[in-house]
Amino acid sequence: MKRSVLIGLLAGVMGMCLTACGGGKSEIANATHDENTVKIAYLPITHALPVFEEAEELKGSTGLNVELVKYGSWPELLDALNTGRVDGASVLIELAMKSKAQGIGIKAVALGHRDGNVIVVNKNINTMADLKGKTFAIPHRQSSHNILLNEALALNNMSLDDIKITELSPAEMPSALVSKQIDGYCVAEPFGARAVALDVAKVLYTSEELWEDSLCCGLVLTDTFIDEKPELAKEFVASYKTAGENLDVSRTKEIGKTYLKQEDAILDVSLEWISFDNLEITKEAYENLVQKVKKYGLLDNPPTYEEFVKTEF
């Protein structure tokens, strides 16, 4: 790879790290947390675009207002959600399931997106067999990315014993691939697309090739918020789903550039893999997720659909 491209990649990743991590602190949008405000935690990833779009659509509204709270890692975000410092979050659904199983009062009310995950590898890797003995990164054990990795391995008569697994924050993965610390990864967008767009990695599998109608990130709200402000919760969820439907290609790129600070080339690649319409969590899709969570040892006692998913307000 040309030195200029490598420097550009690493500089871009460093910028994304600063954007994603906010210097280790959460960044709260300028909004008054009044009676009409919903406080939502997020990581700066493509999978949270409906939350960004909803916040944009409601700017200047005299009614419902969305206050976005940015975190740099899933543990930080989960701590805020589980301790009630926010009203809800755009979060890996498996992490939310674990919190629910541990007694945290939360409900999943919608998906964050559909599809939109890829397994990317060094360009000299051509099959899963080529990954034997090599290092593969995921963002968290409790993630659909872990499930997708297991599905890819099973499809090729392999198991986790055949590779080395490491957990990295999403923004670290492209540079780790370039520096050969890892040989592949699966993570929320746009971090897979960044390496592909800059021609330092290739896609081995897309999520739909491994797991049809896969679930990944979801929108969750605390029981306290739902119980204390039921009408506001109802309005927020309806507005969120409408925002997802409004995310056509041009609008998605506009929001992605605003909130993720990404170049057109990267967003063009990333948006080929993801959609935001129809963000309902169906019972069939959730029960399929539960089976995979148990099968691959992510969680022994996942909550049932009725316990965890709220479809009516």
User: Strand 274-275 and strand 114-115: pairing?
Assistant: antiparallel
Per residue in 28-55, pLDDT (tens digit) is: 333 345 789 999 999 999 999 999 999 9
Residue 101 to residue 266: CA distance in whole angstroms: 37
Q: How is 78-122 classified by DSSP, letter by letter?
A: HHHHHTTSSSEEEEEHHHHHHHHHTT--EEEEEES-EE--EEEE-
**Which residue numbers in the chain have pLDDT < 70?**
1-33
Q: Helix 283-295 crosses helix 144-155 at what angle (to 10 degrees)?
A: 70
pLDDT at 280: 95
Last residue within a domain, chosen from 177, 210, 243: 210
- pLDDT at position 33 is 57
Residue 101 domain flag: yes
- The pLDDT, as a whole number, for residue 97 is 98
- Does 229 map to a domain? yes
DSSP state of 34: -
Q: In the prediction, which pLDDT does 307 show?
A: 97
CATH classification of the domain holding 173: 3.40.190.10
User: How many CB atoms within 10 Å of residue 85?
Assistant: 13
Residue range(s) defining the domain that contains residue 40: 3-114+215-308
With respect to residue 313, please indicate whether it lies within any of the assigned structural domains. Answer: no
Give tens-digit pLDDT for 262-284: 888 999 998 889 999 889 999 99
Same domain, 169 and 294: no
Diameter of the chain measured on Cα atoms? 57
Q: How many structural domains are present in the chain?
A: 2
pLDDT given at position 62:
75
* CA contacts within 13 A on the Cβ side of 164: 8
Regarding whether 136 and 44 lie in a shared domain, the answer is no
Per-residue pLDDT at 13: 46
Are 104 and 228 within one domain? yes
Is the domain of 206 the same as that of 264? no
Identify the pLDDT of residue 34. Answer: 76
